[in-house]
Structure 1
């Protein structure tokens, strides 16, 4: 056996010196490896209720892709929309603020004189600054004038509709059929018109195709993909291949196609090798529009629906999936809101928080499985322009006397037409224990005057900060919305 010298040759020493010197130089000139930069896919449904997934009790159809997402991730059962109406809810999601802090309320119509102020920093702004490609495909509804559109709010790409697709000449309630034509927007430019229900039936598939194209285009860099599907908001419409596929009628068909869309996106992530480095979030903007009857979703047994400050208006599905980071097969009952998405995603992606005050809280630790933390202590239920209608701390909810929408006692509509409801029902002050009474049926304020006083004090803090139209008070920290400048 040949003996191997313990002393390296001169040539070997030279190689070692050259390689070592090269590594040293590289360490000086190569930038440090950045912090984790997961891709982010955010689904935002329109008018999908808490009970509209088969994993939350839906009947007459199934949502296998969403059920699989819940099984492979965490289902958050106590997740609230910031307001139970479209534009306000979307403003909160993208800015991490109560929408009334930003001067945004209700559902902005075509040619609205206001929109989300471009001076606000959106989640897209924050991630774009971090080096992310940012895209939105679906419904915007934060101002349809160019100065308010997504390309002016941090997004690189946009293809979608500028507001709800019932704001068109074929509104389900013909008394409201005074809207202008509805067109797809590509970037800042109006494109083809959505003329009829056949055109509307291509909305979900078009949004899905655009989202998949975005993933393929940006697969080699971190990306933020925002998919605010315009459906299952009325008018309901679906692709030919999904028509008549469920026993729930058109609503079941529409949700089945939306579930298909989620499956297509998840499948594309896996095919591109991005599955394990992508945070996927699925939520809705508010609860179901109940007076549309068979064309409406389910609140899952919670009281009332869209446009109310009861749990049926605010409690929405929330599924989060990130293999290896977010625990699989887990159910979490901690209180969270759409406002909490921004600070959480920003922290996970190494992005800065907005310079102006926000109301969202970071729930990264909870998201990753630490059930000992309670990120959110309380929540304010604002509605209309700026009315504080309820306040919640933990599982206790104090509803203040207020006029508002109710669906109870009215026969819901059929075949796409709404049944009657009222916007002026007088609700009385009541205290609810959501642990024992999630349906908000039993007023226990007489048994807990101490809790009423505690929640009243919390409400007073909100009125000082944000104001309260019910008491004709202006908040000290409310900002201006964007206003048309041309």
Structure 2
């Protein structure tokens, strides 16, 4: 752990001291970061009064719902940033429409300042654990097998809800690790269908994409191997595990992949269609059960890069991702229609949102761009961490509302835990970053409970958001008064830093202290390492080429292990 002095210089001689008595004083309560405690000190009485009224509303709902809390359906779209879905005024800018998501947005609340993490795995970790991914040690979007994943010591939302009477299922992208403890069925889900890896394997390194030249150096057919000595340097994507199915307490197995098969774009599309159908099937099964349910659908689309499979474009945009966004909007329309057919719309909370900004490496060709906020996937800029997010709960959340309060994807953990009667199951031995935003959902704008965000790129804290201002953190030893700062309402693209005298003098010191408090809390509650274990452990039917891949990786990893 780096010292505070290595990160930011002290401002005006102010030193920050947090004694261990702070941690002891919070024993038995959810442990929060310092910024939340500052807000709680100012607004705690009002929040407590609001919570009493909210508890009455929730009790009335449960009484009408047979004594049960609501179902939860969470749909997370991959690499879809702010303004890419559900905002019809932008159709003319984007060159495509998403009518089903737009209708859904009109039926509920649009969270206009939803922040996520800069890439897919960190956002998913934050949502499921309620913690900044850096705290879990698993905050990187892994593209190849490594024997690493979300540790079993982390407590996920699925575990919290399952412990409190929910049936749980996950369908679609997972991307939380390639070891047994990190699979969805071992992280609280009763049933799961998901690929082990992500679209770098499925969409960029499928045989169709390789033939179109989207990735170099992978397909050995496209170059001579006369001087290649190390046959293991290039990962064979076809030897990696693809889609899996499993149930809690049982084995997990790979499906729809035969020995020697070369995974193509057609296979990728078929996998996505199966996940959509499985979501429909699981929802019907869960709706007939006696328990409330938590169902996650994380579609593979709209990530798609090939063009040879597009017979005729359906959009003015014409990019493969734009075409896939329209297709997945159709999938979501089917799911929302099934919710109505099953008669569960009024007792089901549904959230639809993106996980991070667009994949800028394929900008323009894909049909995406940083149209409003600058930046994209992997970046701490607003374009990397601002997404469209919508929530619907008929009769409980006012229709057609747009709120400007700041929210973060980790807030879903705490909010869903409360609404699912699971607050008592939230762990008390670690910092929980997610804030309960039930008041915002049920009471509306100005009732949010955060006005700050810490934005990481991997393990590095890169920027701070407080109210409408944002500071890009200086390098170690840099003077925070001279750091780049932005008024996000006046300069949403973060390309014209504010004058250091006009803004820096007023906020530079406070931003610096905000960062120092955050890092000091990390000294009290240190970041943990990710989970480790045997690569593809627990998968009962590995193909011969997969076993060879595992053997090669384990041999190379073993060369650096101290024999003592």
TM bucket (normalised to shorter chain) is 0.7 to 0.9
Contact 2:431 2:525 in 1 (8 A): no
Q: 1:234: Cα distance to partner?
A: 4.1
Correspondence 1:169-180 to 2 at 5 A:
169-170=205-206, 172-175=214-217, 178-180=235-237
Q: Which of these residues, 380, 392, 404, is aligned with residue 465 of structure 2?
A: 392
Instruction: Please tell me whether residue 439 in structure 1 is matched to residue 509 in structure 2.
Output: no
CA distance in structure 1 between the partners assigned to 2:303 and 2:403 by the alignment: 27
In structure 1, the partner of 2:228 is none
Looking at structure 1, the residues matched to 308 and 171 of structure 2 have their Cα atoms a distance apart, in angstroms, of 17
> What is the DSSP-based 3-state SS (H/G/I as helix, E as strand, rest coil) of the residue aligned with 1:192?
coil
Distance 1:387 1:455 in 2: 16
Among 168, 190, 197, the residue aligned to 1:156: 190
Corresponding residue for residue 90 of structure 1 = 124
Given that residues 81 and 355 in structure 2 are in contact (C-alpha distance below 8 angstroms), is that contact kept between their aligned partners in structure 1? no
Q: TM-score, normalised by structure 2?
A: 0.71
Distance in 2 of aligned mates of 1:338 and 1:197: 31
CA distance in 1, matches of 2:124, 2:367: 20
1:297 maps to 2:371: no
TM-score of the superposed pair, with normalisation by structure 1: 0.82
**Residue 358 of structure 2 corresponds to residue 269 of structure 1:** no
Match of 2:514 among 454, 458, 470: 458
Distance 1:236 1:126 in 2: 40
Which has the larger displacement, 37-46 or 346-355?
Answer: 346-355
Q: Deviations over 1:373-426 (max 9, x none)?
A: 231121111113x111111111111102359xxxxxxxxxxxxxxxxxxxxxxx
Per-residue CA distance 1:307-359 (angstroms, 9 max, x = gap): 11000000011011111111111111110010000110111111134214310
In 2, are the aligned partners of 1:110 and 1:179 still within 8 Å (CA)?
Answer: no
Is residue 383 from structure 1 mapped to residue 457 from structure 2 by the alignment?
yes
Aligned to 1:478: 527
- Unaligned runs of 5+ residues in structure 1 are 1-32, 404-427, 467-473
CA distance in 2, matches of 1:191, 1:206: 11
User: Counterpart of 1:134?
Assistant: 168
Deviations 1:27-55 (A, max 9, x none): xxxxxx97541110001111112121251
Q: Evaluate the alpha carbon distance shift between residue 476 and residue 122 of structure 1 in structure 2; reply closer, same or farther with a 3 A threshold.
A: closer
Q: 1:475 to 1:387 in 2, by over 3 A?
A: farther
Distance 1:362 1:248, change over 3 A: same
Pick closer, same or farther for the CA change 1:372–1:247 going to 2, 3 Å.
Answer: closer
Larger relative contact order, structure 1 or 2 (CA cutoff 8 Å, min sep 6): 2
Q: How far apart, CA to CA, are the structure 2 residues paired with 1:195 and 1:48?
A: 25
The corresponding residue for 1:327 is 398
Higher-Rg member (1/2): 1
Counterpart CA distance in 1 for 2:115 and 2:236 is 31
The residue aligned with 1:67 is 102
Q: 1:236 touches 1:251 (CA, 8 Å); kept in 2?
A: no
Counterpart of 1:206 in structure 2 is: 274
Among residues 429, 435, 438, which one is paired with 1:361 in the alignment?
Answer: 435
Aligned to 1:247: 316
What are the superposed Cα offsets for residues 44-85 of structure 1, whole Å, 9 maximum, x if unpaired?
11111212125161432210100001100011110011x201
Contact 1:111 1:145 in 2 (8 A): no
Taking the aligned partners of 1:235 and 1:140, their CA distance within structure 2 comes to 20
Residues 404-461 of structure 1, C-alpha deviation per residue, up to 9 Å, x if partnerless?
xxxxxxxxxxxxxxxxxxxxxxxx9300111222111221232121201101100111
* Distance of 2:68 and 2:371 partners within structure 1: 37
Cα offset for 1:296? 4.8
In structure 1, distance between residues paired with 2:120 and 2:103? 27
Partner in structure 2 of residue 44 of structure 1:
76
* Aligned-partner Cα distance in 2 for 1:464–1:238: 53
What's 2:245 paired with?
Answer: 186
Which residue of structure 2 aligns with residue 143 of structure 1?
A: 177
1:319–1:299 CA distance, 2 compared to 1 (3 A): farther
For 2:306 and 2:532, locate their aligned partners in 1 and report how far apart those are by CA, in whole Å: 32
Higher normalized helix content (fraction of residues): 2
> For 1:224, what is the secondary structure of its paired residue?
strand
* Paired residue total: 422
Q: 1:325 to 1:176 in 2, by over 3 A?
A: farther
Pair 1:61–1:238, CA change in 2 (3 A): farther
1:373 aligned onto 2:437: no
Q: Would you say the 8 A contact 1:158–1:186 is kept in 2?
A: yes
Q: Distance in 2 between matches of 1:126 and 1:63?
A: 33
**Would the alpha carbon gap of residues 238 and 118 (structure 1) be closer, same or farther in structure 2, given more than 3 Å must change?**
farther
Q: Give the stretch that moved more between structures: 229-238 or 329-338.
A: 229-238
Determine the structure 2 residue equivalent to 1:196: 264
Higher strand proportion (structure 1 or 2): 1
| Aligned residues of 2:483 and 2:508 also touching (Cα < 8 A) | no
* Cα gap change, 1:65 to 1:305, in 2 (>3 Å): same
Taking the aligned partners of 2:475 and 2:355, their CA distance within structure 1 comes to: 23
Q: Which moved more, 1:205-214 or 1:249-258?
A: 249-258
CA distance in 2, matches of 1:395, 1:251: 31
C-alpha deviation, 1:109, in angstroms: 3.1
SS in 1 for 2:376: coil
Work out the CA distance in 1 between the residues paired with 2:123 and 2:308. Answer: 25
